Every structure is written in structure tokens, then in C-alpha cells.
């Protein structure tokens, strides 16, 4: 039975990846952060008591800012594959917390690579490493972006991801380690964090439909993104690690839409006029924006046989259906006198 160690298992991608690996009979070990509130919602459905002989998902406390614990976990778990998905992943917030973002996203990757390198030196046991790179690394370089497009990062998040990317390439070249670098374009799902623009829109539009809120405040409606489905993208991550040689791959749909088009598609699906409810608020603009991202994933298609299964319309439908149901449940609870906690979106 193969063993995988996953950082960021409680995030959107971590939860889909854990599902995929369990379906492929892996033993999955996830690193979770201690939190005063629950942060394991997305993986609750996969978790079994570790005393259960059938349990194949194990959770360990740890943090990418703590190199000692990463080293200890590598030694304890002895994984065949490591997926480094943990990150402060919000671009706008990276302008407010640049030091922390660099510590987790750039230095955190370095700490994990060092732990894997030491483990390799001590045991001789090969470990395959996936690094979660981002289309944000391309930043101001115009589309279509490929593996050969120069990086031009536009936020502390993107700069940190560029550093992490090159740490990975360097460990591949310097020590012959199997480090595969994914450059993934935006991918979304009903499990997307609620302050990323797609989910912010589907959550708010469905609440407006159910009469639970009146307005939705957004930032730059002109930005263009290549949005895919997270479930498809974790399949690509896994394929990167099954390939004979470690390499860098762009993972994208090749189709881009503006934020405005995403808004229009969502409101139209709900039979609403978006212009009556959406207002622009400057607080959601970034000091430097990434205007246009659209990836060319020809290499992933040819070499890995990967292509996305879920298109733009199906993604919108999936997210709207999910969030409509959430809004209906909230309405029912409110009608019964319960006051469910609503989450603020001031940072979105």
C-alpha cells in the first residue's frame, strides 16, 4: 500500500486529493494546524477513528513554519509521495500579511524539501514530491501562458510561489530528487473558500435569491481567469507524480472568462438581474492586479494524458446548485427561530 503525506489536507484541494488517493488504495497522512475552531469540515466525511482497522486516513498536527515537526513527520510516516498543498493561498491577504505568506509559502516549501532531502540521505528511500505552483506566478506575462512563459509575479503570494517553484527545481537538479512542479490555473468547486471570487459570488447570489441578503460587493470585474474544477486538477497532481521523470506542467482549461461573465452566468442561472444587486467596492481591488490568465495545457495533455472533464457552465451549475441548497437550509433554520452564524466577507 502506497503512503502519501499531504500538507494543506483541510483545504479545497487537499480534500479532493485525499478522496482520490483513498479511492486508489493509498494510506493518506494529512498535516493539520491546531485551530481554536474546527478546520476539518472538508475531510470529516473521509475520517474514521484511527482504532478502526479499516482506517486509512491519519491526521497529524504540524505546520509549514515548524521545520522540526516536518522532519519528525517524514520519519514517522515514511511516505512514498509528498504533496505540498499547504499555503496562505489568498492573493489579496498576501498584501496584508506578506511576511507570513513568504514564511509559509516560500520558506515552508524549503523546510519541507529539506526534511525530505534529509530523510532520503538517512534512509535511501526515494520520495516523490509535488509542489503546488500557481498561474499567479505568470502575473503580468500575457496569455496564453505555457511552461515557457516567463514569471512576472504581482503579489507577495505570487513572489513566494515563484521562490517555492525554484526551490523545487533546484532540489531536483542539485540532489536528483523527484520534485514535480504543477503550475495550476484557478480551480474552483463547492468546497472553495468563501472569500475567493467564484464562491463569494455563488454564495451571495443564492442568498439573494432566497431573500437572505440584498447586495454583493465586488472588486475588479474586468479581470480574466481560466477557471476549472478542483476535482479534475487533483487528478493532474497525482499524474505528475506517476510520470517517469519529474517535470513542470501547466494545468488549465484553455478557456478564460471575466469576473463579470462569471457573475452574469450565476445570476442568469438563478433568474436574477445582477445589475440590481452587484456593486463595486474599491476595498476589494489589489495594489497590483493580474489582468488576464489563460493556460495552454498541451504538454499535460500529451505527456500525462490529462484533460479537464468539467467545463465552465457545468462548474457554475455545480456551485450554484450546492449554494442554493445551503441558502435554503439557512432560510429554513431562520424560519424556525435559529440564528445561524454567517461568515463575514470583509477580506474577500
Q: What's the min distance (Å) between Cβ of 120 and ligand NAP?
A: 21
Exactly one of 15, 89, 94, 134 is catalytic; which is it?
134
Q: By CB under 6 A, name the one of 70, 79, 86, 91 that touches ligand NAP.
A: 86
Q: What's the min distance (Å) between Cβ of 75 and ligand F7E?
A: 30
Q: By CB under 6 A, name the one of 65, 220, 258, 298 that touches ligand NAP.
A: 65
Instruction: CB nearer to ligand NAP: give 132 or 208.
Output: 132
Q: By CB under 6 A, name the one of 2, 24, 39, 309 that touches ligand NAP.
A: 39
Exactly one of 136, 188, 210, 264 is catalytic; which is it?
136
Q: Is 191 in the site for ligand F7E (CB under 6 A)?
A: no
Q: What's the min distance (Å) between Cβ of 197 and ligand F7E?
A: 4
Q: Is 203 in the site for ligand NAP (CB under 6 A)?
A: no
Q: Which does 195 bind (CB under 5 to 8 A by kind): ligand NAP, ligand F7E, none?
A: ligand F7E
Site string for ligand F7E, 307-336 (x = CB under 6 A): ------------------------------
Does the annotation mark 35 as catalytic? no
Instruction: CB nearer to ligand NAP: give 167 or 274.
Output: 167
Q: By CB under 6 A, name the one of 70, 223, 256, 316 that touches ligand F7E.
A: 223
Q: By CB under 6 A, name the one of 27, 89, 149, 253 that touches ligand NAP.
A: 89
Q: Is 155 in the site for ligand NAP (CB under 6 A)?
A: no
User: Residue by residue, what is the 3-state secondary structure of the chain?
Assistant: CCEEEEECCCCHHHHHHHHHHHHCCCEEEEEECCCCCCCCHHHHHHCCCCCCCCCCEEEEECCCCCHHHHHHHHHHHCCCEEEECCCCCCHHHHHHCHHHHHHHHHHHHHHHHHHHHHHHHHHCCCCEEEEEEEHHHCCCCCCCECCCCCCCCCCHHHHHHHHHHHHHHHHHHHHCCEEEEEEECCEECCCCCCCCHHHHHHHHHHHHHCCCCCCEEECCCCCEECCEEHHHHHHHHHHHHHCCCCCEEEECCCCCEEHHHHHHHHHHHCCCCHHHCEEECHHHCCCCCCCECCECCHHHHHHHCCCCCCCHHHHHHHHHHHHHHHHHHHHHHHHCCCCCCCCCCCCC
Does the annotation mark 136 as catalytic? yes
Q: By CB under 6 A, name the one of 128, 200, 257, 269 that touches ligand F7E.
A: 200
Q: Which does 88 bind (CB under 5 to 8 A by kind): ligand NAP, ligand F7E, none?
A: ligand NAP
Instruction: CB nearer to ligand F7E: give 74 or 237.
Output: 237
- Residues taking part in catalysis: 134, 136, 157
Residues that bind ligand NAP (CB under 6 A): 7-8, 10-14, 31, 33, 35, 39, 63-65, 85-89, 104, 132, 134, 184, 186-187, 193
Amino acid at each position: 500500500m502506497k503512503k502519501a503525506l499531504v500538507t494543506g489536507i483541510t483545504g479545497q484541494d487537499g480534500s479532493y486529493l485525499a478522496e482520490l488517493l483513498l479511492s486508489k488504495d493509498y494510506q493518506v497522512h494529512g498535516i493539520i494546524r491546531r485551530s481554536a475552531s474546527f478546520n476539518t469540515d472538508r475531510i470529516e466525511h473521509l475520517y474514521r477513528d484511527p482504532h478502526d482497522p479499516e482506517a486509512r486516513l491519519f491526521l497529524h498536527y504540524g505546520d509549514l513554519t515548524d521545520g522540526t515537526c516536518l522532519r519528525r513527520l517524514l520519519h514517522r510516516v515514511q511516505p512514498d509521495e509528498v504533496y505540498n498543498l499547504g499555503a496562505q493561498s489568498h492573493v489579496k491577504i498576501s498584501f496584508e500579511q506578506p511576511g507570513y505568506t513568504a514564511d509559509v509559502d516560500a520558506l515552508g516549501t524549503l523546510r519541507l524539501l529539506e526534511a525530505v532531502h534529509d530523510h532520503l540521505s538517512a534512509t535511501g528511500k526515494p520520495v516523490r514530491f509535488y509542489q503546488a505552483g500557481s498561474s499567479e506566478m505568470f502575473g503580468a506575462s500575457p496569455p496564453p501562458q505555457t511552461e515557457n512563459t516567463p514569471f512576472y509575479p504581482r503579489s507577495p503570494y505570487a513572489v513566494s510561489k515563484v521562490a517555492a517553484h525554484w526551490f523545487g527545481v533546484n532540489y531536483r537538479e542539485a540532489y536528483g530528487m523527484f520534485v514535480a512542479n504543477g503550475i495550476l490555473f484557478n480551480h474552483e468547486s463547492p468546497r472553495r473558500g468563501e472569500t475567493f471570487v467564484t464562491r463569494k459570488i455563488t454564495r451571495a447570489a443564492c442568498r439573494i435569491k432566497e431573500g437572505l441578503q440584498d447586495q454583493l460587493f465586488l472588486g475588479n470585474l474586468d479581470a480574466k481567469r481560466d477557471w476549472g474544477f478542483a476535482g479534475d486538477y487533483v487528478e493532474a497532481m497525482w499524474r505528475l507524480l506517476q510520470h517517469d521523470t519529474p517535470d513542470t506542467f501547466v494545468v488549465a482549461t484553455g478557456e478564460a472568462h471575466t469576473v463579470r461573465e462569471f457573475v452574469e452566468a450565476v445570476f442568469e442561472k438563478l433568474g436574477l438581474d445582477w445589475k440590481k444587486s452587484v456593486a463595486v467596492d474599491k476595498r476589494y481591488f489589489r495594489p497590483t492586479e493580474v489582468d488576464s490568465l489563460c493556460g495552454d495545457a498541451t504538454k499535460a495533455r500529451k505527456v500525462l494524458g490529462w484533460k479537464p472533464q468539467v467545463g465552465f457552465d457545468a462548474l457554475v451549475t455545480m456551485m450554484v446548485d450546492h449554494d442554493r441548497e445551503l441558502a435554503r437550509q439557512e432560510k429554513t433554520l431562520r424560519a424556525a427561530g435559529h440564528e445561524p452564524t454567517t461568515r463575514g466577507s470583509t477580506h474577500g
